[in-house]
Structure 1
Amino acid sequence: VMAALKREREEAEAEEESPGTGSRGSVRGRRVRERLSVLDFDFEKLCSVSLSHINVYACLVCGKYFQGRGLKSFANIHSVQVGHHVFLNLHTLKNYFLEEENYREIKRPPGDIMFLLVQRFGELMRKLRNPRNFKAHVSPHEMLQAVVLCSKKRFQITKQGDAVDFLSWFLNALHMALGGSKKKKTIINGVFQGSMRIFSKKLPPPDLTPEEKEQLLETEEFKETMTESTFLYLTLDLPTAPLYKDEKEQLIIPQVPLFNILAKFNGITEKEYKTYKENFLKRFQLTKLPPYLIFYIKRFTKNNFFVEKNPTIVNFPITNVDLREYLSEEVQAAHKHTTYDLIANVVHDGKPGEGAYRVHVLHHGTGKWYELQDLQVIDILPQMITLSEAYIQIWKRREDSDEGQPREKGA
């Protein structure tokens, strides 16, 4: 753009110097100098109205910065009020002409705004991984603003949301923004997506006689069906928390091993699921394990009145969790590696809707664990991680190249 303006200025100066051009060349040269005097790209790229630095465009007529180019954006309002229709995207350096007849009927393709989420997330990851950062810290503010915009304020900076809801939305939003669909794969599918078989069987109404139940079970409607399904995370159900207190008049905090709640996916364990008018027995069997496996430990249940939190502690090892027994026999041969190591653990402390989140993260270079909460980062022993109320866990599949990596003692 600057080269084009410079070339236009040189042509205007040549017209001024050439004889016989009259006043037309001088007028054009004066207009070019006026445009160059108002265009200064050294200013901070902030919208002159909202002071936002996301999706900012420069008006090539007056030099002011405005956000967006939609119908309700500040750039479009400026173009209608003042009559300036030529704008420059300060990031891609593409020119846009607002309120032109040939552009008026073109609609923005669905999901186009989601590309901003991919862009901001990529920038944040590159800053985190850059060994030559000028600053010792990285601000996620631009990324958070993109989340607020792309989620239509479902997730906000000033209001804490549910971690699982955000994780599910974020992974699906990245998948769609990268051009993915149910059939088209992206890096999100390749990293986090697994598959399972779901066996479902409809139950007869409980008020029938045994003879009537047997007759219904022989019909096609009540026979067991099998469907293939994919998943980005596995939901682990906790046992019901006890209602009674112990001899010291204190509530008992139950504990359950991780492998007990993983038995839901062994293909044998059946669980009853109720709808508003029908009951089903379902069992699940894993058919494909992803490189990174996410566990969602379901702690919150909603009844007719309020949300309850299950305080059950899940006992789990930090390393060497083998999931081969949860695969069907015919697909075990296709999985050379089925052992997983924990790399991240999200913890929820406090009451439902009022608590706070903590994250335990493994540093691969040193094998040490760190606890992150807001801006506070401290070291933590691996033995302390298993005592927390785990909510979300991310496990990494161990490959041949991971056998010699350092591990924290006692892990």
Structure 2
Amino acid sequence: MEQNRKRSRRRCPYLDSVDRTVLDFDLEKRCSVFGSNFNVYACLVCGKYYHGGGQRSYAYTHSILAGHRVYINLETEKFYCLPDGYEVIDPSLDDIRHVLNPRFAREQVSQLDTNRQWSRALDGSCYLPGMVGLNTMAETDFVNVTIQSLMRVTPLRNFFLVPKNYQLCKSQLVHRFGELTRKIWHAGNFKGQVSPHEFLQAVMEASEKRFRISAKSDPVEFMSWLLNTLHGDLKSSQMGRSIIHQCFQVPLLNILQKFNGETVTEVVDSHFARMRYRVTRLTQYLILHMRRFSSNNFFVEKNPTLVNFPVRNLELRDYIPLPEHNANERVRSRYQMQDLHVTQTLPQVAALSETYMLIYDQQQQ
């Protein structure tokens, strides 16, 4: 069999049996019979996952019993014809490989914000790359809203669209987040929606089931945990910096210096002192949280008060020692996303919603 596997054939008579409508690479890559996640093949006729490729494997048995001949190795991304055992090399299958593992050149990444062309799924529906719906799996909407929010942070998105940026990182959470980011922004998906199933599996493992499927959680707590965990997995050993640090953290200047004419020091007791800090520069992205939920001994109560906030041009010049700069007027469309539903909306409607968390992008001069 191994000798046969070394053979390759550019023409395969069974390529017309490939059914792209049944392919779903968002699911966890495990054998549907044995449950193994090693050396898994996907049947391109029925979409099911099977272990192996050898003569005693489940994929080999399935090819004989069901008559399904074309498979892809989910790890090597190579196509094979079973039970014959030869590798299939055909450019017509490249779109399947790109859906399994989307790839972005750095030139493509830099043009994502300017190219607003809609894509068409196999079922005829249209979707906008980066604005696709996310499947919810048993109370995981807190994950979906967090992911959709972080997809709007351009430097973070650009970093995870290129796997070379984190190829040396051993964290499964980092790699699953990068894979999910690439699928959300991929323009050649077979469906107009993405399932974060593998990302959720990595979240449950990394958080020791603090955040899990079938259990509601606070999206603000999940956002804080996710950013801190990604930062801890990505930060360099020497500088302690990461893309998370670059996007969301700023240095605080401690001006607790006597005799500089500006310091305020209030000694509370002999062991503690009250210090004043000031922000020397703004972070690229600012996250604001409205605390709407409070718990007591009986239930969780929500505060539905509407908070007036600017949809654009949040002015913070009075709080930092920076010179004034002109706003960068860019016209952007706004979309309301709730799991699988994506609809275009108006800024006035967004300002009237019961906002829970906001992310502001600093405008460059």
Provide TM-score, normalisation by structure 2: 0.49
- Give the structure-1-normalised TM-score: 0.44
Report which of the two structures shows the higher radius of gyration computed on alpha carbons. Answer: 1
- The answer to which structure has the higher strand fraction is 1
